[in-house]
Amino acid sequence: ASAATSLPEVRKPSLAIDLIVDGKRVTLPDTEPYIDDAGNTMVPIRFVSEKLGADVKWDNANQIVTIIHKGNTIVMPVGSKKVTVNGSEITLDTMAIKKEGRVVVPLRFVSETLNAEVKWDGAWSAVNIVSPEYQEKVNAGSVTLDKWGRELRANQNSKKWILMSDTPDNVYEIKKYKIYHIDGEQVAKEFGQGFHKDELDRIVRNVKEYYKLALNIDYRTINYSTYYNSSFKLLGHNGYMNPEPFQEFVSYIKKNKVIVEGYAYPDPTTIYSYYGTPFIRTKFKFRVLSATDYNQFNADSYKPGDKSEKVTWVKPGQWYETYSDVSLFSNSQDFRATLKIGSTANMFTKGAYRHKELK
């Protein structure tokens, strides 16, 4: 494959925002939630509204989106701050816009107009939307939520994992791999109990921040010093990182004309320790927009060796969802409060990840 002839504009990387709707963590097929300059969380309107049981109609000729839900009608023209709710016009501090072919709208306005409660958890960068009907189930005890507002499966029949209703079985079946070969295993059900929510939030945020860097690379703007210094802050180490591999990597990115966009969504319920290494199972979402060699587009796929698989299935511009374990490291006695990313190669460990195209 050759580099794209029509390159996208330079993008500002976004931190992954977990979107939880009625207890389920949502995977979007393309455009992700983001925070605009006014501080509004913007989301693709169709997916959120339909998850809440609304009917969404798009008038392409007039560039108007209409949401119908339980007798309420919201009409939002793209590019206008004036919208109508049941025939009454109101003015927003932001507007519906088109982004990559999707209509994105301010989340709080639409959700509250659809009579859903919206909560923002900045500690791990997540939005939780709960409909009144779902809240009734929670109050009645017919569903159980974890600390992050996600629904647990009713049948917790695993000895190792806390099973979430939004996670497929094959994710829990991903093979574990050894790094240090000491201390045996502490499974997620046991290991995670030693952490407070704020400690797990910090670990999740660290993984998100690192992959905001490592999965949002543009050969036109990448700078070795910035990339190395940012990696130094986000990776766990003993106080020193050899700069040469980072210099080589940045040079390769420029030579290979890489433009990649992506996000990481660690699951705090899946943190475990395996033969001396803590891991957290993580969902990734990414697409490669430009490259001379699409097999090597970030540090995880660069120079695959004995442990890493050569990524031969990547297609230009296609969004992918992958799951794998991210290793963690700390040399501090304050172990739980200082764990950070432990390796730059987590996504494509041989036999220890899942991937699929998003549609």
Element (H, E) at 70: none
Model confidence, pTM: 0.93
Whole-number percent of the chain with pLDDT over 70:
99
Is 18-132 CATH 1.10.1200.10? Answer: no
| pLDDT at position 5 | 55
CATH code 3.30.457.10 region(s) in the chain: 18-132
Position with higher pLDDT, 194 vs 39 = 194
Residue 107 banded pLDDT, cuts 50, 70, 90: confident
Count of beta carbons in the 10 Å neighbourhood of residue 350: 14
- pLDDT(3) > 70: no
Position with higher pLDDT, 357 vs 114 = 357
Q: At CA 56, angle to CA 51 and CA 59, rounded to 5?
A: 155
What's the rounded Cα separation, in Å, for the pair 141 and 248?
55
Pairing of strands 126-130, 18-21: parallel
- Share the mean pLDDT of the chain: 94
- pLDDT(108) > 90: no
| pLDDT at position 305 | 87
- pLDDT(74) > 60: yes
Give the model confidence (pLDDT) of 20-63 as tens digits.
Answer: 999 999 999 898 999 988 888 999 888 889 999 999 999 999 99
| pLDDT at position 4 | 44
Residue 8: name the closest of 207, 233, 203, 258 by CA.
258
